[in-house]
Amino acid sequence: MNFSLDGFIDIHTHILPGLDDGPKDIAGSIAMARCYEKVGVKAIAATPHFLPGTAWAATKERVLESTQGLQLHLDREKIDLKIIPGMEIAYHRKLEERILANIVLPLGKTGFFLIEPSFQEEQEGLLACLLSLLNKGQKLILAHPERAVFFQQNPQALKKFIDLGLRIQVNAGSLLGYFGEKSKFTAELLRKSNCIHFIASDAHDHRKRGPLTASDWESLLASPGGQELFWSCKKIISQTFHLDLLAQ
């Protein structure tokens, strides 16, 4: 590649082993880490699903322990990749309560919580929850809204919340067309409206849904507005994750 990913952080990954639909074991996690190493990404956020009432609801203590364990393995393998702990927290009825009670994890030292919308359902409950939390001063990132039917049909609904401080994370795969035409169209609308703050992989393994390859990055940067989006997101990453980057 003729560009550098130094300073870029993939803020949405499922690299921790055995916690959700990511890798089943440490070998799978290490294989994912080598994909990041290959393209020059040196830091990522591990964001296992938090879905209360399911097997994918690891406590924050377990996530922190798993993050530390994976980091030790990577250090032993001499893989230069920093793992920042976090969660992808699915919207649920007690979401606000759990955030305010410090039950779920933000992304590293940023104070930002990564929130996942439902893919198929209406979003009245989510939007009311986001509004309440933002008004209480909480820092929130909405994960891949371009993949949710409601936001595909109503992308303008996000603007009010962005004005209140909500950050938007779009999957790079959506911009590349990997999640279908509707997701790509919505992602492009958000890009043209300057409503994307983070691009991320949402990687789950090292094969079918892996980290972005060199070819993926080249396609993304060659797409209309791709370079401007990359540099804008990289600047926001440096501002948002500065304490985590200092700890590298």
Q: Using a pLDDT cut of 90, give the percent of the chain over it.
A: 94
Bigger pLDDT: 245 vs 233: 233
pLDDT of residue 3 exceeding 90, the answer is no
Half-sphere exposure of 69 (CA within 13 A, CB side): 14
pLDDT at 127: 98
pLDDT of residue 248 exceeding 70, the answer is no
Query: What are 110-129's pLDDT values in tens digits?
Result: 999 999 999 988 899 999 99
pLDDT at 121: 81
Core vs surface per residue 136-173: b (16+ CB within 10 A) or e: eebbbbbbbbbbbbbbbeebeebeebbeeebbbbbbbb
Query: What are 49-102's pLDDT values in tens digits?
Result: 999 999 999 999 999 999 999 999 999 999 999 999 999 999 999 999 999 999
Encode the chain in three state secondary structure: CCCCCCCCEEEEECCCCCCCCCCCCHHHHHHHHHHHHHHCCCEEEECCEECCCCCCECCHHHHHHHHHHHHHHHHHCCCCCEEEECCEEECCCCHHHHHHCCCCCCCCCCCEEEEECCCCCCCHHHHHHHHHHHHCCCEEEEECHHHCHHHHHCHHHHHHHHHCCCEEEEEHHHHCCCCCHHHHHHHHHHHHCCCCCEEECCECCCCCCCCCCHHHHHHHHHCCCHHHHHHHHHHHHHHHCHHHHHCC
pLDDT of residue 247 exceeding 90, the answer is no
pLDDT of residue 2 exceeding 80, the answer is no
Contact yes or no for 142/158 (Cβ under 8 A):
yes
pLDDT at 245: 78
Query: What are 30-44's pLDDT values in tens digits?
Result: 999 999 999 999 999
Query: What are 142-183's pLDDT values in tens digits?
Result: 999 999 999 999 999 999 999 999 999 999 999 999 999 999
pLDDT at 120: 83
pLDDT at 64: 98
pTM over 0.85: yes
pLDDT at 37: 97
